[in-house]
Amino acid sequence: MIKVENLSKSYGQTQALKGISFEVADGEVIGFLGPNGAGKSTTMKILAGYLLPTGGGASVDGMDVVKDSLEVRRRIGYLPESTPLYTEMRVDEYLRFVARIRGVEKSRLKTALSRVVELCGLQRVVGKTVIELSKGYKQRVGLAQAMIHEPELLVFDEPTSGLDPNQIIEVRELIRRLSEEHTVILSTHYLQEVEAVSTRVIIVNLGQIVADDSQENLVSTVETRGLKARIKGPADKVTAQLSELLPGHPIKVLSKDGETTLFGFGLGSKKKDDSFIGDAIAQLVVKNGWELHELIKEQASLEDVFCKLTESDRLEARHA
């Protein structure tokens, strides 16, 4: 569906994209992640035909985004970060206007409008002018305009920006439903969005792709964060014996509740360390007649992967 080869884009002396390459197959839901200024929106704008690349190329369904720009746009539903709305128009008027521009046949116009109004939950506001709408409803109208011509590919750039938690959940569910019938590329710096809907993750940093894989495979490259154990026993004695039992493994008292203490354990460099520590803690608790109320292995997350791979960006910003 999408093929990007050595794509680059410069704004004067600033190089926003530095020769990135990736492919997206039909039916995939791609989470396009990166910190602010990483090159996410620039990539989306080039794919949607809003920007010309400086070098390299990209194609959608075999058609070049520059040479076949009009045809590519017909096949794409695009929601940019700043939702493009005509605020003086009623919602239904605006969506009909977009549908006509998108080439939706007159005989299908009513059905197309009803479909996106229902999908995006716009029934309550369809007769209102856009300027009357809340930020959440304006974003829904933006999603509706991207889908009204039933494109094969949906490109969403920060689709939940500025929404409240309930609206974010609704948009995530909508994207999840859309992914059953469309190829979706979702550009965002919100990790929760990608975790909730994507089948594959591409991470960009400083204009370059630093990761491209499934969530599961990416997370597996990061070591387990640590362990937590909630133990009922004399805190000082428990701490002393744990420190003696596990030299080289940082131990922290995370919280206390009466006679029960929550400990956090740092892990070593070996993959087997987490199971070794768990067994050792359990044996020590039994030996001393204490009570082990909880033993939790803290799994690595996509956030850990993201922070690890974009560390250079954060360090550069810190010293700027």
Predicted local distance difference test score (pLDDT) of residue 55: 96
Q: How far apart are CA 114 and CA 275, in angstroms?
A: 55
pLDDT above 90 covers a percentage of the chain that reads: 56
Domain residue ranges of the chain, discontinuous segments joined by +: 2-220, 226-299
Stretch among 77-81, 116-120, 216-220 having the lowest mean pLDDT? 216-220
CATH topology of domain 226-299: Alpha-Beta Plaits (3.30.70)
* Residue 5 in this model has a pLDDT that exceeds 80: yes
pLDDT digits (tens, 9 = 90+) for 194-245: 888 898 999 999 999 999 999 989 988 876 667 888 999 998 999 999 888 8
Residues above pLDDT 70, as percent of the chain: 93
Residue 318: the pLDDT is 43
Q: What is the mean pLDDT of the chain?
A: 88
Per-residue pLDDT at 21 exceeds 90: yes
- pLDDT tens for each residue of 170-197: 888 888 888 888 899 999 888 888 888 8
pLDDT of 51 higher than 80: yes
Residue 96: what pLDDT? 96
- What average pLDDT does this structure show over 139-149? 93
pLDDT in tens, 275-313: 677 888 899 999 999 999 998 877 778 888 898 888 755
CATH dotted code for 2-220: 3.40.50.300
pLDDT confidence of residue 165: 84
Q: Side chain identity at 54, as an amino acid letter?
A: T
Where residue 41 falls among pLDDT bands split at 50, 70, 90? Answer: very high
Average pLDDT over residues 236-261: 87
- pTM comes to 0.78
Residue 151 pLDDT more than 90? yes
Taking 90 as the threshold, does the pLDDT of residue 84 lie above it? no
Q: For residue 276, what pLDDT is reported? A: 74
Q: Which residue has the tokens 């206007």?
A: 97
- Give the pLDDT score at 251: 85
- The C-alpha angle 191, 197, 45, rounded to 5 degrees, equals 75
Q: What is the pLDDT of residue 319?
A: 38
Q: How far is CA 201 from the centre of its chain?
A: 8
pLDDT on residue 214? 93
The arrangement of strands across the sheet holding 14-24 comes to: 14-24, 2-11, 55-60, 63-64
Q: Is the pLDDT of residue 259 over 60?
A: yes
Q: What is the mean pLDDT of residues 16-24?
A: 96
Task: Give the pLDDT of residue 313.
Answer: 53
For residues 217 and 315, which has the higher predicted lDDT (pLDDT)? 217
Which positions ≥6 away from 59 have C-beta within 8 Å? 2, 3, 65, 72
Instruction: Give dist(CA 43, CA 204) in Å, integer.
Output: 10
86 CA to centre of own chain: 28
